[in-house]
């Protein structure tokens, strides 16, 4: 049975895109304000500014204090939060359907009337510095920042979303405001809403409250990064040795991204995957083992993460490399391919049960593709992938020149496994 979507889109005079999906049988509305703004749009001097602005928009406006913002959403039983990534920043609210106008008012207020008070800036710098320390104290999270630093060396994608201690400590109000005024403009903004709501009423509300937001200012284009194959070791006193092995992967806009998704599922992206079964279930070499794909507009990477003991590192690497060779030399069985397809389709179907997820899909589809991508189309693209497609893609990606390894733990450069990467 096809999905029934009441998808509508309106572009306001200042470039803001308002996208909705009406679902009459729910009593909630999920609304997000998505900005084409992330650490990719920074340089080393201002690294972390996009994330810092995300924090500052919750610190108070001309109408509301930080407490008022929190209190207004709590008083209606709603949820409000935000996140910053490499290419996007999102602010999202979920409220009962009869409080949609309040949600839009809150989002518009923080976008158009935030104070950026000097005292708040200094306090929030301290908060972000603590956040950086927290990441560094979490090795299974920190190692991914280290890997990207080396993998995307020389490009903005190499920089951490949070920034560095030096860059955050140097923030000043003028710098932060300049970045905010450059990026938080109408044509960079998508308002996506899903739930029991009416499109026209929502558009009227957004036009009224976000109308003062200026249109797009001329901005420099994004340069496509290259990758740097590296092997490096970061010494740290840890119980485990944390390892990431990575290679380039399809971008968000690449036609072979669906083959990449299915390949990753079989390779290490699920509990039934080859890596999980071999490393954890059969040999007991690690508790945490997974592969994952990170895709950006024009590039991507496929990484394997494992937390293991130092003396098991060589064995773990050998298994990873062996499974890479297998992916590019042996055709998937019909059963493996079909199971992977059912897993991905099932995850998609289950995600459609959530207004939050549907809202996120509306926004990201508009930002990256400029249109709604219905679930039927995604399912069709997944079903069209063949075992030969996956074999071909693995042959392109799993090669020695592409491969990077990063180690974090009690290991020196001289103790790293020899560079005999045979693919």
Sorted by where each starts, the structural domains of the chain and their CATH numbers stand as: 7-210 (3.30.830.10), 231-415 (3.30.830.10)
Half-sphere exposure of 169 (CA within 13 A, CB side): 6
- For the stretch 148-171, pLDDT in tens is 999 999 999 999 999 999 999 999
Residue 368 confidence (pLDDT) above 90: yes
Q: Name the E strands within 138-220.
A: 189-195
Burial readout 232-244 (b: 16 or more C-beta within 10 A, e: otherwise) = ebbebeeebbbbb
- For the stretch 185-230, pLDDT in tens is 999 999 999 999 999 999 999 999 999 999 876 565 577 888 878 8
With cut-offs at 50, 70 and 90, classify the pLDDT of residue 416: confident
With cut-offs at 50, 70 and 90, classify the pLDDT of residue 417: confident
DSSP at 192: E
**DSSP codes, 208-276:** HHHTTS--PPP-PPPPPP-----EEEEE---SSEEEEEEEE---TT-TTHHHHHHHHHHHTSSTTSHHI
- For the stretch 70-112, pLDDT in tens is 999 999 999 999 999 999 999 999 999 999 999 999 999 999 9
| pLDDT of res. 4 | 57
Task: Say what percent of the chain tops pLDDT 90.
Answer: 90
Q: What is the mean pLDDT of the chain?
A: 94
Contacts of 201 (CB under 8 A, 6+ apart): 100
- For the stretch 121-143, pLDDT in tens is 999 999 999 999 999 999 999 99
- For the stretch 55-77, pLDDT in tens is 999 999 999 999 999 999 999 99
Torsion of CA 80, 192, 209, 219, to 10 degrees: 100
From the list 54, 87, 124, 336, the catalytic residue is: 54
Total Cβ atoms within 10 A of residue 333: 11
| pLDDT of res. 369 | 96
54 has catalytic annotation:
yes
Distance CA 84, CA 160 (A): 11
């Amino acid at each position: 049975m096809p999905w029934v979507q009441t998808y509508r889109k309106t572009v306001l005079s200042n470039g803001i895109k308002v996208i909705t999906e009406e679902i009459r049988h729910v009593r909630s509305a999920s609304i997000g304000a998505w900005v084409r703004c992330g650490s990719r749009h920074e340089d080393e001097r201002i690294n972390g500014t996009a994330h810092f602005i995300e924090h500052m928009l919750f610190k108070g406006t001309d109408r509301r204090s930080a407490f008022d913002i929190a209190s207004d959403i709590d008083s209606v039983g709603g949820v409000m939060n935000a996140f910053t990534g490499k290419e996007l920043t999102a602010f999202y609210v979920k409220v009962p359907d009869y409080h949609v106008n309040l949600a839009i008012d809150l989002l518009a207020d923080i976008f158009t009337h935030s104070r950026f008070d000097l005292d708040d800036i200094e306090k929030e710098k301290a908060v972000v510095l603590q956040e950086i320390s927290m990441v560094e104290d979490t090795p299974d999270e920190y190692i991914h920042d280290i890997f990207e630093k080396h993998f995307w060396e020389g490009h903005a994608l190499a920089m951490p979303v949070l920034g560095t201690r030096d860059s955050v400590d140097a923030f000043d109000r003028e710098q932060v405001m300049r970045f905010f005024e450059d990026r938080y403009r109408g044509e960079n903004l998508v308002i996506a809403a899903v739930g029991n709501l009416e499109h026209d009423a929502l558009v009227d509300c957004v036009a009224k409250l976000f109308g003062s937001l200026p249109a797009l200012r001329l901005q420099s284009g994004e340069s496509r990064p290259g990758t740097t194959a590296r092997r490096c070791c970061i010494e740290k006193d840890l119980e485990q040795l944390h390892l990431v092995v990575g290679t380039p992967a399809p971008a968000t806009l690449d036609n072979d991204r669906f083959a990449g998704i299915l390949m990753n599922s079989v390779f290490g992206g699920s509990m039934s995957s080859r890596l999980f079964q071999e490393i954890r279930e059969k040999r007991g070499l690690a508790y945490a083992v997974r592969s994952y794909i990170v895709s950006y507009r024009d590039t991507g990477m496929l990484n394997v993460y494992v937390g293991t003991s130092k003396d098991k590192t060589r064995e773990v690497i050998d298994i990873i490399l062996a499974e890479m060779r297998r992916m590019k030399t042996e055709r998937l069985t019909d059963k493996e391919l079909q199971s992977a397809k059912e897993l991905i389709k099932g995850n998609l179907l289950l995600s459609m049960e959530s207004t939050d997820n549907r809202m996120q899909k509306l926004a990201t589809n508009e930002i990256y593709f400029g249109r709604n991508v219905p679930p039927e189309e995604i399912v069709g693209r997944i079903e069209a992938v063949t075992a030969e497609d996956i074999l071909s893609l693995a042959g392109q990606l799993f090669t020695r020149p592409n491969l990077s390894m990063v180690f974090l733990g009690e290991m020196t450069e001289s103790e790293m496994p020899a560079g005999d990467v045979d693919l």
